[in-house]
Chain A
Amino acid sequence: MRAFWALVARDIKLAGRLGGGPFVGLGFFIIVVTMVPFGVGADLPLLSRIGPGVLWVAVLLATLLSLDRLFQADFEDGSLDLFLMSPLPVEMQVLAKCLAHWITNTVPLIIAMPAVAFLVNLETGIMLPLIVSLLVGTPSLSLIGALGAALTVGVRRGGLVLSLIVLPLYVPALIFGAAAGTGDLMGTPMLFLGAFSLASLALAPFAAAAALRISVS
């Protein structure tokens, strides 16, 4: 387990020191949300109605943006080869990478959520369910994304294909997440969202580890 936490700490440190750290993703997220009123008009009741969905889509896109670096940097400098030979199971390494990715990319977005929510005129009563839905649902985005990143590691223009293969798999998370973001805390969509996250926690590391072994072989 020490190796696991060492890997998490290393990835968090690297993410903090590499080109702007978490602020690039955060900036992207805020800009996407800002673009929506320009597109649909500054109609406050409309914005507050579509707000949770918009915020969920923006979180999804911001996650997607950072996914292609998940294994790519380690692949380029050769440390991925060494990781694969280490005694820590590859599945656990994937899990560590996902945890670090979630902490450095998604958690800042969730922290910024109360401020960003003003942009779409979100009702204050919805804030808590929305944040809980993000906390419950976004781990599945990192986990499924790890599968896509592992499949496209070392591929030229891999980022484009990555979004093509990952986004369809995100559909259930988006549907239940956006619905849970407007509903009550223990409602049906929130439970489904939790189930989806747990299922991806159980399955995605194995698929991503298999994909990593294939890509690096």
Chain B
Amino acid sequence: MAKSIQRFANPARFMALSGAVLPWAAAATALTLSIGLYLALIASPPDYQQGETVRMMYVHVPSAWLASAGYASMALACAVGLIWRHPLAFASAKAMAPLGAAFTFLALVTGALWGKPMWGAYWVWDARLTSVLVLFFIYLGYIALWEVIEDFGRAARATSVFCLAGAVNLPVIRFSVDWWNTLHQPASVARLDGPAIHSSILTPLLVMALGFTLLFVVLTLVRTRTEIMERRAASLEMQQAQAGMIVGAHNG
């Protein structure tokens, strides 16, 4: 296991492999998303209670899924990076953070827009909404920490420690917010505890979730490749500057 990770963690091998996979993955994403959008927006029936607003779900639920799955994969990459000291794992964690934050933001916004017709208010302090909001703040903290520490190696390891601390604390936050919410639950909020989801809604939902996940993977690959190329460019520039200095010293 460790050995196979080592093999893929070679940046040159990663660049070659991801470059070959990327066009196909992007095509699969586009295909899945267009099928999913057709099923979700046109082919699926409106809900008998919620009407057309139920279609919000096909964007909201996949975003919320990626908000947490994105953080989980980020934490995994951070742990791999800390244990095996692989810059590639750190680079992929860094690449995933803004994507996860964006999907978390999408989940919050679509949740608020969906909440208006369903709950009568854009924002209610629902337990799920609240813990997703805290998750969003943790994403922001992770990104901000990357921004302020200049040295790549130091920033990579410091952000990873924070990411793992967040991963340990997130279940506790989730639990405390659930508990807090039952304590303060306003009576006016109607819950959406409907019957089990019918397959006419479940199929487009699953296709959309698959499409969103593929999109996340493709964008992560692209951003990781960019990160590697940027680092390579920076080190080339550094070499050039050093060579220039040596030449300059010889001439002067």
A→B interface (CB under 8 Å): 147, 151-152, 155-158, 161, 164-165, 167-169, 171-172, 175-176, 179, 192, 196, 199, 203, 207, 210-211, 214-215, 217
Contact = CB atoms under 8 A, between A and B. Distances in A.
A169 B165 contact: yes
Contact of B154 (A203, A207, A215): A215
Contacts of A164: 137, 140-141, 144
B146 to A, nearest CB: 10
Given A155-B149, A203-B168, A214-B158, A165 B176 contact: no
Interface-central residue, A158, A172, A176, A211, by most chain B CB under 10 Å: A172
B123 interface: no
Contacts of B134: 168, 171
B176 A151 contact: no
A161 B137 CA distance: 11
B141 A175 contact: no
Interface in B112-153: 134, 137-138, 140-142, 144-145, 148-149
Interface stretch (B177-185, B211-219, B244-252): B177-185
A210 B161 contact: yes
Contacts of B149: 155
A72 to B, nearest CB: 14
A165 B144 contact: yes
Given A155-B149, A161-B141, A172 B158 contact: no
Given A161-B141, A179-B180, A172 B161 contact: no
B169 to A, nearest CB: 5
A50 B164 CA distance: 34
Contacts of A157: 148
Contacts of B144: 161, 164-165
B141 A172 contact: no
Given A161-B148, A192-B176, A207 B169 contact: no
Interface of B: 134, 137-138, 140-142, 144-145, 148-149, 154, 157-158, 161-162, 164-166, 168-169, 172-173, 175-177, 179-180, 183
A168 B137 contact: yes
B161 A151 contact: yes
B90 to A, nearest CB: 12
A151 B145 contact: yes
Contacts of A203: 168
A147 B165 contact: yes
A151 B162 contact: yes
Nearest to B143: A164
Given A175-B176, A214-B157, A169 B169 contact: yes
B148 A165 contact: no
A67 to B, nearest CB: 14
Contacts of A147: 161-162, 165
B179 A175 contact: yes
Contact of A172 (B138, B145, B164, B176): B176
A171 B177 contact: yes
B31 to A, nearest CB: 38
A171 B148 contact: no
A179 to B, nearest CB: 7
Given A165-B145, A171-B134, 4 more contacts: A168-B134, A210-B161, A211-B162, A217-B154
Contacts of B177: 171, 175
Contact of B138 (A155, A168, A214, A215): A168
Contacts of A199: 172
B183 A179 contact: yes
Contacts of A151: 145, 158, 161-162
Nearest to A179: B183
B162 A156 contact: no
B183 A171 contact: no
B154 to A, nearest CB: 6
Contacts of B180: 175, 179
A205 to B, nearest CB: 12
A210 B159 CA distance: 12
13 contacts: A155-B149, A156-B148, A158-B148, A165-B145, A165-B162, A168-B173, A172-B176, A175-B176, A175-B179, A207-B165, A210-B161, A214-B157, A215-B158
